[in-house]
Amino acid sequence: MDNLQLLAQWLKESTYTVVFTGAGMSTESGLPDFRSKTGLWKSKDPKKLASIEAMYQNPHEFYDFYRQRLATLGEAKPHKGHLILADWEKKRIIQAIITQNVDGLHHRAGSHRVIELHGTLRESLCLKCQKTYPSQILLTEGIPRCSCGNMLKPGVVLFGEMLPQEALRQADIETRRSHLFIVIGSSLEVSPANFFPLEAKEVGARLVLINLEPTEMDERADLLIRDKAGHVLEKIDGILKTLA
Ligand code: APR
């Protein structure tokens, strides 16, 4: 039995399956990841562009960076892998998706139980009066401001910021329930998000890593699949249909 057949078998056997996605889940939709050789952080310094200090100290560069990300997001669409995960949720093959991605592609594919650990680019908010705006407001030139006059922050978790407590709480609940925990397209280099695969192992779940490159958690995995997310999900979906 090869790795894909084994994972299909484990999906059949599992009573509670959680999928954990990173930027590698969205590269086949045309969005760059961060740490592979073509990743965003290979050519840009995240501390200078994606931190709360950057927003106040060099706002023009900061907002230009998010305007660009928003523009590329506008052209991106969920790929086959996103659609398969949404279909698996409907068929109760998986129970939840915990994502580090802010692109909203899981929602647009039709997934409902999606926990966004790093927030979302779909909206921006005022840190003073907590008012939220659709992120299209970032597309206007200059520094986007709230009606109260304060600068608006993209709804994503910036370096130096705490993760949303409710998302962390929900991700913890789902991880503790998991019998099968499948990581797709993440280097697992960023904490506290990278804590969840370890927590899954602690509660006795089988840990599967689907990633094009090695990660620092490979030796903790019960199964490693070194291939593209969309291709793996399509193959497994085909196998599951023969096992149905
Ligand atoms: N299929 C499978 N794996 C892929 C694919 C693909 N099509 N494309 C890229 N990958 C792999 C890369 O090899 C890389 O190891 O996905 C991984 C993505 O890792 P990162 O770029 O580090 O992205 P991620 O793990 O999501 O980063 C976590 O870091 O900058 C912050 O907030 C940002 O949420 C992000 C967090």
The per-residue pLDDT for range 119-161, each reduced to its tens digit, is: 999 999 999 999 999 999 998 888 999 999 999 999 999 998 9
Is 118 one of the annotated active-site residues of the chain? Answer: yes
Sign for the pseudo-dihedral over CA of 39, 222, 117, 234 = positive
| pLDDT score of 12 | 97
**pLDDT at res. 244:** 75
The DSSP code for 216 is: T
Pocket, ligand 1, Cβ cutoff 6 A? 22-24, 27-28, 33-36, 39, 46, 100, 118, 185-187, 189-190, 211-213, 228-229
pLDDT of residue 1: 83
User: For residues 151 and 144, is the Cβ–Cβ distance under 8 A?
Assistant: yes
Measure 150 CA to ligand 1 centroid, in angstroms: 33
Count the alpha carbons within 13 Å of 49 in the hemisphere toward its beta carbon. Answer: 15
Q: For position 141, what pLDDT does the model report?
A: 82
Residue 90: burial class (beta carbons within 10 Å; 0-12, 13-18, 19+): exposed
Nearest CA to ligand 1 atom 30: 34
From atom 35 of ligand 1, which residue's Cα is the shortest distance away?
100
Q: Which segments of the chain have a pLDDT < 70? A: none
Q: How far apart are CA 224 and CA 207, in angstroms?
A: 9
Q: Which of 60, 82, 118, 179 is catalytic?
A: 118
pLDDT at 238: 97
Cα dihedral angle (27, 33, 35, 41), rounded to 10 degrees? 150
Question: Which residues contact residue 225 at a Cβ distance below 8 angstroms, ignoring those fewer than 6 apart?
Answer: 3, 4, 7, 208, 209, 210, 211, 232
Taking the whole predicted model, whether its pTM rises above 0.75 is answered as yes
Q: Which one of 212, 226, 234, 236 would you pick to mutate in the ligand 1 pocket, going by the greatest count of ligand atoms within 8 A of its CB? A: 212
> 29, 45, 211, 215: which to mutate for ligand 1, most atoms within 8 A of CB?
211
Residue having the nearest C-alpha atom to atom 1 of ligand 1: 228
Task: Tell how far the Cα of 187 is from the centroid of ligand 1, in angstroms.
Answer: 5
Residues 6+ apart with CB under 8 A from 135: 70, 121, 122, 123, 124, 154, 155
pLDDT for the residue 150: 95
